[in-house]
Amino acid sequence: MKISIRTLLLAFFAILIFSYGCKKYDVADKDLLTAKTVSPLVAKAEMTSWIDRHVATSQAETQSYHLLKQNLNYEAAHVQKRKNGEDVLVIPVNDAIREKLKLNANYALKVITVKKNGKPRWSMIIAFLAGDGKTKSTLNNNSIQGIVNNERLEEDGLYKFFDLKGRLLYQVSYKDKKITSYGAVQAKDKRNGKDKVMSTNGSGTGNSTKMLLPEQEDCTEYYLVTTYYDQYGNPEYQTWEYLFTLCKDGNGGGGGGGGGGTPPEDPIDVEMTQEFSFPVAYTSFRPEDYRLPEGALSATPEGTPLTYDCKVSVTFASSTRKIHGVQAYPLVIHPANETYLHPEYGRIVRNVTPFSQSHNASYAGQKVSAYWTSIVNFRWAYLDRNSLPNTDDLDFNHSTSFIF
């Protein structure tokens, strides 16, 4: 059977186009490897029920919850998995919510709801603005994974986190995959009648215009306190931006600040602990046949490279990332015991033990600092030569700091 050149060319281009289309699909699909679609009706029923469990303490909060329920894109809802196995329901947000939050059109908004044993546990509205501030942003699944797993984010820009009634919890900005600023909402009581103020529109939208209040009312001002960091993680300066004021009447009610219930396991009061490990791997060694770290000297390595593991934990509030405490753990060296074969001396046994240790961790705002010092004892022996053990001690020092 004869096949014309024209037919072959058409077949070739068809295969090429099909192959290109598959590659494009694969690239686009990588972001959805951890995502699973969910029925819009199921997502709507679940989210509506969850929002209804939040008790509004004012008419404004009631309206906010109602507006949110009516402006979630349930058709595009999907579920991801956290690293701890919990489900995360992700739902895009319509423009009406963005406008309520006074965010420009380039922000991407989604609501995430973390579920434990199939039941909603906590939710946040996430708003993301790309690094240049001018590009229409997209909040991809990789970024959401970073957020729910409390990891560094790969996508540069400004991330804002709101509760379901639209109140800002905190915000963080990234540049070159490093945190450049962190802002959290802080309260400031006003108990002197001359200092009592509130926003003139009473809506808590960030309008800094104020007016005096009657002296008998107790009011609390809320500010966005933002700390800016240099490329090394050192605080450079701090700004205070007035957001809104909440007031109580004599009976403890009114003004949106008089109490009210919260849903079970509300994240505001839930603390989490996250551990960070900073392995220090030595690649240069003394010119002896056992593996001792020694700065500038090097030799053909034998055995397994030593790794000095320095670990610090951070305890923080899950919804605001406010740090409550930090702890440094003792230095761990691995492999601590090893028998390996040297091409000239035969079997060698090596034991590494840190002692006289000192370690500490501290924090200031969102910056965590930690250090470790130790004397490291090395014991080694040549098993095939029946030699007595040899010993040596080396000093170890390591410090680190990072923005959480």
Q: Which residue has the higher pLDDT, 378 or 301?
A: 378
**Is pLDDT of 131 > 60?**
yes
Is position 8 within any domain?
A: no
Closest CA to 320 of 150, 165, 178, 179: 150
Residues with Cβ within 8 Å of residue 235, at least 6 apart in sequence:
227, 228, 229, 364, 365, 367
DSSP class of 8: H
Compute the CA torsion angle 117, 119, 123, 126 (nearest 10 deg). Answer: 70
Q: Does 237 share its domain with 297?
A: no
Q: What is the pLDDT of residue 189?
A: 60
Q: Do 127 and 196 fall within a single domain?
A: yes
Q: Considering the domain boundaries, does residue 157 fall inside one? A: yes
Entry pTM? 0.66
Q: Which residues pair with 359 in a beta bridge?
A: 372
pLDDT tens-digit readout, 37-78? 889 999 999 999 999 988 888 888 899 999 999 999 999 999
Q: Structure tokens of 192?
A: 């002197």
Place of tokens 């440094």: 328
**Which amino acid is it at 13?**
F
Asked if residue 40 belongs to a domain, the reply is: yes
Answer yes or no: is 379 within a domain: yes
Residues 304 and 389 in one domain: yes
Question: Would residue 171 count as lying in a domain?
Answer: yes
Domain residue limits at 142:
32-269
Q: What is the per-residue pLDDT across 260-317, written as a single tens digit (0 to 9) for each? A: 333 433 454 467 788 888 888 765 554 454 444 443 333 344 677 788 899 999 998 7
Same-domain pairing of 217 and 284: no
The stretch 238-265 carries a mean pLDDT of: 55
Pair (225, 280) in one structural domain: no
Same domain, 285 and 196: no
Q: Kindly state whether residues 251 and 355 are assigned to the same domain.
A: no
Q: Are residues 111 and 195 in the same domain?
A: yes
